[in-house]
A and B are shown apart, each in its own frame.
Chain A
Amino acid sequence: MDAAANYVPVRVLDMIGVDLNVYRFDYDLTFAVLLMNGDGTIYHRYGSRNSANASDRLSMTSLVRLLRETLADHAAYTAQPAPKPAMPRRVVEEIPPLARKIARRTREGKKQECIHCHTVNDTERDFEREQKRWSREATIGMWPRPEKIGLTLDRDEPRRVLAVAPDSAAFRAGIREGDRIERAGEEQVRSEADLQWALEKATSGPAEVAIEYRRGEGPPVRAVIQLKEGWKLASELEFSWRASMWELRPRPGFGGREVAPEKRAGLGLAAAGMALEVTYIVDWGDDAATGENIKKAGLRKGDVVLSVAGKSDFASELHFQTWFRYTRKPGERVEFEVLRDGARRKLEITVLQ
């Protein structure tokens, strides 16, 4: 297969000028692919991740398979093109919060920086907040993973179901291990991202998603996945990798890096459990008050935070940051245990908005 000759390949590193009504994908990803017709019809999406790391759900096998299969989809579409009506062009740099920022930088004579993909989500959220229509639930429910309906898909052959969670929505719809997902909603499913896009378009619930699957060599089976209120919402760990996480409130006012495993014993720490070395206390922007708050309570750079509100089983710093934003409430008292100069001490803050 000479895929290079069969596609027009383009690599986009800057979101300036990208029509958001055409090129829709999970903008928090650091790697995403669209396979599409030049008329704006998207055949398939590729690119997905979980909280563990950015490449767990990617593989060359699945990407190459998708490149091959999409050539047939393109041939079929070209024989009977059906472009959707064009929507007005919408670009991130014209959405008011970013447009103002760019104008300000221009007035100050500063060069415009590259606009990363995740900036689209940041800008949309800022604009929705300005218009008082931002929804925390919509943010933490974006691009649901197949696991939200009970499916674990094969990374290398994403249509194949590796496991179905007992009593999940997918299980109740009749899907079982080994089945192959063919369609979801209006989407032909050839990748995990295709299924995520179908789920993204469903409401947070109660919702129904039509699905078509095959078992062995049998005919396609049509079923409806019934989803309950709130089905989309990602857990704090599931959401923790997203750049969008940083914008949720309330915030602890500091951050840092996890103490390296080889250094833990030297500090008298067990191999597992929270050990977050404070490398910064926020002293900038709208959030400076949160940094001032924790500083007044006694936190210093270099302290190692061992627990927060008695909890220490965080998988990562991002997990801690997300947990704080998900579970702490403004006005609440929160105790931190920290290690400084070999001694453990406790400090307490009142959480700010």
Chain B
Amino acid sequence: MKSSLFVICTLASVLTDASLAAGEDAGSIPWRSDLEAARKEALRASKPLLVVFR
């Protein structure tokens, strides 16, 4: 439940204009910044890729 709330709060922070930095500080979502590396990681791990464009 805690991680669920973290996900929601962190994505909520991404949703708002003022909180990009807050999203990074929250630390619950290990945002990657290298799209191609993340794509390969998703393939290796058989996980879907969540790409946020800001």
Which A positions have Cβ atoms within 8 angstroms of B? 1-13, 17-18, 23, 25, 29-40, 43, 47, 54-55, 58, 60, 63-64, 67, 70-71, 74, 78, 117
**From DSSP, what is the main secondary structure of chain B's interface residues?**
helix
CA distance A5 to B42 in the complex (A): 12
Please indicate which of the listed interface residues A12, A25, A54, A64 has the most CB atoms of chain B within 10 Å of its own CB: A12
* A-B contacts besides A10-B51, A12-B54, A37-B48, 4 pairs, CB < 8 Å: A8-B42, A8-B47, A11-B32, A31-B15
User: CB distance B50 to A67 under 8 Å?
Assistant: yes
Please tell me if B45 contacts chain A, counting CB pairs below 8 Å: yes
With most chain A CB atoms within 10 A of its CB, the pick from B6, B35, B42, B49 is B49
Question: Are B50 and A60 within 8 A (Cβ)?
Answer: no
Partner of A38, one of B28, B29, B42, B54: B42
On B, residues with C-beta under 8 Å from A are 3-4, 6-8, 10-12, 14-17, 28-36, 38-54
Which one of B7, B10, B35, B49 contacts A2 once the chains associate, using CB atoms below 8 Å?
A: B7
Question: Measured between alpha carbons, how far is A47 from B8 in the docked complex, in Å?
Answer: 16
A-B contact pairs, 7 of them (CB 8 A): A5-B3, A8-B47, A8-B48, A9-B50, A64-B11, A67-B7, A70-B48
Whether A8 contacts B15 by the Cβ 8 Å rule is no
Chain A residue nearest in CB terms to B44: A38
Q: A33, B42: Cβ atoms under 8 Å?
A: no
Closest approach, in angstroms, between the C-beta of B17 and any C-beta of chain A? 8
Contact of B51 among A30, A33, A78 (CB under 8 A): A33
A44 to B46, CA, bound (A): 17
